[in-house]
Structure 1
Amino acid sequence: MTGHTGDRIALFIDGANLYSAARALNVDLDFRKLSDWFGQKGQLVRAYYYTAIVEGEEFSPVRPLVDWLDYNGFTVTTKPAKRFTDAQGHSRTKGNMDIEIAVDMLELAPRLDHIFLFSGDGDFRRLVEAIQAKGVRVTVVSTTRCQPPQIADELRRQADAFIDLSDVMTHFSKPKTAMNQGVARTLDRSDRT
């Protein structure tokens, strides 16, 4: 991994995108271990987590995760997922957090040396380029070790470095649980585009 132990770093986690990559690798994440592991790579200024939440459900399996993250040092940004019917008449849920991630990254960049972006979304290529123009290194965390790969080629090429989740998951993965599988069903409903 690039960087120096004195670097001021921040984590920007696109929840649905990271979940999708971890699911493709058939692992669950331990966010405390993830935060601790990346915190050893420099001075962890902030760890952000972004996700859309389906409103109106009696129980939202993603809510316990969001609450846990919020109480354990993560800055959590949520918004209601939007329901719509597509052209084929199928009910869909959309919860794109790209703008929120972009605004927070641009605002915090002047106080950082290195950003870790947990997403494979190609829409972030231009954002990464803008952050790099401010003198901040950007490492993208996703995976290429599944079909289809969970990272857009243009994002991987733009980043200063790329970490494949499959190479580091032993540091912050955990056994699958029933709660995690409930979160999985909820996150599957959100559109990552």
Structure 2
Amino acid sequence: MIVIGGGGFVAYRAIQNANEPPPTPFSLNDLGKIAAGDPFAPDPQSDLLKAEAEQAYRADKLKKDRSGAAGKDLDWVVPEKAPGGDGFPSMNFPPGSDPSPGSNKATAKAMLASNGFGADQWGCLERLWQKESGWNERAMNRYSGAYGIPQSLPGTKMASAGADWQTNAATQIKWGLGYIKGRYGTPCAAWGHSQSVGWY
């Protein structure tokens, strides 16, 4: 192990930052959406957290692969309580209301057309949210804290679709479809972005 002083660390980070690709600049349209309070506009802070979570996941996976650890861990967990924030207290999940990925998929499939998506987008959406949450409305990313079926970061963003965002799969799906439409245009575009960088 090599220990370097503060100046050495600064130089090291400067070299690392110089080797990273420059961030994509916001378009005037994106900046207008942000200024207008568009809940689906790009959010640089959330995007950075997602990217850092993806890096942490890949580092953990590499470490497990090198150590020969058996099995594949999911990058999400189910917390004991639904998360809170922004005035929403964390809350217990209703008794006897276990997640039903099959029902959640059926709900999303039925909501596609009302959000302007054709049936050709279903396969992309199914794969995207299977990767993100396993279609579990209680899924929380162990690295970033993203929550719910669409993995909203923070989960409280889903409150724009309904106050029951913590436990209601349909509310999460409604928000998620709006997010995809506003940010990527289609589920297939969102899936392509996720395949490219590991998050959407």
Structure richer in helix, relative to its length: 2
TM-score > 0.5, shorter chain as reference: no
**Higher relative contact order by CA 8 Å / sep ≥ 6: 1 or 2?**
1
Larger Rg: 2
After TM superposition, the score normalised by the length of structure 2 is 0.27
Structure richer in strand, relative to its length: 1
After TM superposition, the score normalised by the length of structure 1 is 0.28
